[in-house]
Amino acid sequence: MNKSIILNGREISYELERKSVKNINLRIRADCSVYVSASARVADSVIEGFLQKKADYILSALDKYAEIARSAPPARNYVTGESFYYLGKELRLVVTQGKSNVSLDGVCLTVSVPDICDNALKEKLINKWYDAQCAEVFDEIISEIYPIFRKHLAMPRVTLRNMSSRWGSCRMKRGAITLNKRLIETPLEAVEYVVMHEFVHFLHPNHSSKFYDTLSSLMPDWKVRKKLLESAVLNRPLKT
């Protein structure tokens, strides 16, 4: 039976199954559904009281699963018409038969493969294309930003990776920066913000007021850029 309850001001729906179990059992599933089982003898009000007591746990588990779902790359079918993103712009995938190749023409991302059903090859080619774009775009941004920091540090080692919880990170002592490859899907201004943010960490490792003072002096519009990053198609609350 589908039910709903208000927990800390948030309405949550849950599935209640009556069966012969000893206690009230609660399960929060990765798809953000809530399942409760209890014996027919347990009154609804007792179940509701139980859920109220567990409110913090339920809400934080739901938030956690929602965040994981948002950060997972979308499942792909690699068919014509599918949307991809590049620097904040929506691209339409066009699949054609031919020699293995990927090209961008306006808003069409065309992938050619000998067998148009070969999803593994399409995925490999598209990932390779994105990697090349990341290398080019991120390199250009870094070469514009690094001179500002030249007097404080040697050129950092930059690693590009797919990350599920961060847009970027800075390992100050190792002189290394890691950038999330999926930044290439967000607007250029947002990528510049993340690169600047990580560089400022070489001067101020924590998000102290000095960190933000420096960031603001070097990139006065960083808040607008951060908003752009947060509202990017991925809509993921990743850290920097």
Site of tokens 């179940």: 47
Output 180 or 240, the one with its CB closest to Zn ion: 240
CB of 210 to Zn ion, least distance (A): 13
Output 186 or 240, the one with its CB closest to Zn ion: 240
Let me know: does 45 contact 56? Beta carbons within 8 Å: no
Record the tokens describing residue 142, joined without a space: 């870094």
End-to-end CA separation in angstroms for the chain: 42
Q: Which positions from 75 to 114 touch Zn ion by CB under 5 A, shown as an x/- string?
A: ----------------------------------------
Phi-psi domain of 234 (left: phi exceeds 0; alpha: psi -120 through 50; beta: other): alpha
CB of 173 to Zn ion, least distance (A): 16
Output 26 or 196, the one with its CB closest to Zn ion: 196
Site of tokens 């930059």: 158
Count of residues of this chain found to bind Zn ion when the rule CB under 5 A is applied: 1
Output 55 or 218, the one with its CB closest to Zn ion: 218
CB of 84 to Zn ion, least distance (A): 28
- Examine residue 180 and tell whether it contacts Zn ion (CB under 5 A): no
User: 211-240: which residues touch Zn ion (CB under 5 A)?
Assistant: 240
Indicate the residue whose CB is closest to Zn ion. 240
C-alpha neighbours within 13 Å on the C-beta side of residue 15 = 9
Let me know: does 152 contact 137? Beta carbons within 8 Å: no
| 3-class secondary structure, 39 | coil
List interacting residues with Zn ion (CB under 5 A). 240
